[in-house]
Amino acid sequence: AGCVATPAPAAVSATPIHVNLLAINDFHGNLDPPANGARIFNPANPGKWDVVQAGGAPRLATAVKELSERPNTIMVAAGDLIGASPLLSSLFHDEPTIEALSKMGLAITSVGNHEFDEGWQEVKRMQDGGCHPVDGCKGPHPFEGAKFEYLAASTYLDNGETLFPPYTVREFDGEKVAFIGLTLEGTPDIITPAARAGISFKDEAETVNALVPQIRAQGIEAIVVLIHEGGYVGAGLDDCHGLSGAIAEIVPKFDDAVDVVVTGHTNGIYICTVDGKLVTSAGAYGTRLTDISMVIDPRTHDVIGKSARDIVITLDGFTEDA
């Protein structure tokens, strides 16, 4: 009798997978470089910030394009991309900003409190497209809506459904990463009664922790939280010993399965580790990007390394994308 050899299971490659996140927050429709420039940390002048001219959508687009030449790179954001915007964007109900961010390749964002300035129906229009209910369509073609995906894990409509999906999953070289997006629980306190009609906001940590088992049940161990809430630090970019504000209390409550937390709201500038999680914020107004690196073990699907660097979108460092 002949023996049939059982083939050995295919060995999973032990080569780690590198994933890059390009993160912004609090863009606020600054299609042109903001007049106040960007604060930068000067190691030679501790305790003080220098100011350089920076930002503008065309230069930010160039930076994203250059950095996206690396494989497994995705652009994400932590809310307040629109609202409280300069006239160039606000005059057209921030449609130009949605179109610009779509063109430069933004993929996923959480919703900030300012996205709700005109009510949840207007945020939905930003995602889905269509003409403004009062002013109609002003541009050369109907507004098509965002090419990127809004997430709203903690924002509930009166019918009990979340306004947008709570999380999304993206795959990089076969490794899946989950992105959870949410808005600060205190949003109703900082928007008008008309704007908060029909929606409610749940606790940030409880929301994230309830989603983690669902995500891990799919075999996903790499989890990124995009949260529109932030904190304050001292005068050093990597100095998070003095991290204060709401985010300093929220992050330690997150399940240990969370690897990276991209924050916003306070317009803070920081990169640090809190409770084993990498926590970042890229200032405001499109003047900088946080370039986040995650290393994933393909055998365990766990994040085994993470780091980040701050990139200031200086006027002389980047050309304008036509």
- One digit per residue, the tens of pLDDT, for the chain of length 322 reads 555 555 555 556 789 999 999 999 999 999 999 999 999 887 787 777 899 999 999 999 999 999 999 999 999 999 999 999 999 999 999 999 999 999 999 999 999 999 999 999 999 999 999 999 999 988 888 999 999 999 999 999 999 999 999 999 999 999 999 999 999 999 999 999 999 999 999 999 999 999 999 999 999 999 999 999 999 987 666 557 788 999 999 999 999 999 999 999 999 999 999 999 999 999 999 999 999 999 999 999 999 999 999 999 999 999 999 9
Q: With H, G, I as helix, E, B as strand and everything else as coil, classify residue 187.
A: helix
What pLDDT, on the 0 to 100 scale, is given for residue 237? 60
What pLDDT, on the 0 to 100 scale, is given for residue 184? 97
Neighbouring C-beta atoms of residue 7, cutoff 10 Å: 6
What pLDDT, on the 0 to 100 scale, is given for residue 239? 57
What pLDDT, on the 0 to 100 scale, is given for residue 235? 62
Residues ≥6 apart with Cβ < 8 Å to 191: 113, 116, 117
What pLDDT, on the 0 to 100 scale, is given for residue 73? 98
Neighbouring C-beta atoms of residue 197, cutoff 10 Å: 12
Task: Read off the amino acid at residue 192.
Answer: T
Q: State how far the Cα of 292 lies from the Cα of 279, in Å rounded to an integer.
A: 10
pTM of the model: 0.95
CA angle 296, 181, 95 (to 5 degrees): 120
Residues ≥6 apart with Cβ < 8 Å to 98: 81, 82, 126, 143, 145, 146
Query: How far, in Å, are 96, 165, 239 from residue 101 at the CA level?
Result: 9, 20, 30
What pLDDT, on the 0 to 100 scale, is given for residue 10? 55
Q: State how far the Cα of 90 lies from the Cα of 1, in Å rounded to an integer.
A: 81
